[in-house]
């Protein structure tokens, strides 16, 4: 933890616990704090320049979000990615994204089409950086344009409820450079099918896109477990 740069954005209108919460949450979601990494109150308090009380309160809030786990006799640690939890989340996300592309085939405007084209080019540029956080951010933007173009507010809310969990999985997936060309190809396939109005193929393309993410991360977790044994 000593090697991490935690840069809190203090706000006179926010309680300290919320500032700490936002700082730690962002560090976990961005991958700066790794799964399984311990969160020691004393060290965090020194790094952030606050007392241990807001640290303790923020950790409780993160635990409620599922981003932190309390381990007996060890304390708090960044929650590890569970294959079962990931499968549950991505099964739901697959269904929601399938609905989103189906609706986008009907409802995407000409302006949104241009935005999606731009987002795809930005994603390809992001791939060239080989920076996982940049690639993940560009991927989020691409999928958000499709989601917004569905014109379904309830669908948007449901997807946003899963956003934090999905982002963690997305970040792990794009860390593996072997997936990058495949991601570009899948994005193009999704986009082309939306533009042609082919609902069945658009749904199939996005389901394959998410299935590949799930399979890859499960393999990564399996490899990590073998290395630890």
- Map out the domains of the chain as residue ranges: 16-78, 83-228
CATH class of 83-228: mainly alpha
What is the pLDDT at residue 10?
61
From the candidate CATH numbers 3.40.50.970, 3.40.720.10, 3.50.50.60, 1.10.10.10, the one assigned to the domain spanning 16-78: 1.10.10.10
Q: What global pTM score does this model have?
A: 0.80
Question: What's the pLDDT score for residue 168?
Answer: 84
d(CA 229, CA 225): 6
* Percentage with pLDDT > 90 across the chain: 66
Q: Rounded to whole angstroms, how far apart are CA atoms 220 and 225?
A: 9
pLDDT of residue 66: 82
pLDDT higher than 80, residue 3: no
- The chain-wide mean pLDDT, for the chain, equals 90
Predicted pLDDT of residue 224: 66
> Residue 195: CB partners within 8 Å, gap ≥ 6?
113
């Amino acid at each position: 933890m000593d090697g991490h740069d935690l840069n809190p954005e203090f706000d006179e209108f926010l309680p300290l616990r919320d500032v700490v919460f936002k700082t730690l949450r962002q560090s976990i979601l961005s991958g700066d704090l790794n799964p399984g990494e311990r969160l020691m109150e004393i060290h965090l308090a020194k790094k952030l320049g606050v007392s241990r009380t807001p640290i303790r309160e923020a950790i409780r809030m993160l635990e409620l979000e599922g981003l932190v786990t309390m381990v007996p006799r060890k304390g708090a640690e960044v929650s590890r990615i569970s294959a079962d939890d990931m499968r549950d989340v991505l099964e739901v996300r697959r269904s929601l994204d399938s609905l989103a592309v189906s609706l986008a085939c009907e409802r995407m405007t000409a302006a949104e089409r241009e935005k999606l084209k731009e987002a795809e080019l930005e994603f390809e540029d992001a791939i060239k950086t080989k920076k996982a956080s940049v690639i993940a951010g560009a991927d989020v933007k691409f999928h958000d344009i499709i989601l917004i173009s569905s014109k379904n507010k309830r669908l948007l809310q449901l997807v946003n409820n899963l956003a934090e969990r999905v982002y963690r999985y997305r970040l792990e997936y794009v860390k593996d450079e072997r997936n990058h060309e495949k991601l570009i190809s899948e994005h193009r396939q999704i986009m082309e099918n939306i533009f042609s109005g082919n609902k069945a193929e658009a749904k199939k393309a996005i389901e394959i896109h998410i299935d590949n993410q799930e399979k890859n991360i499960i393999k990564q977790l399996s490899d990590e477990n073998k290395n630890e044994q």
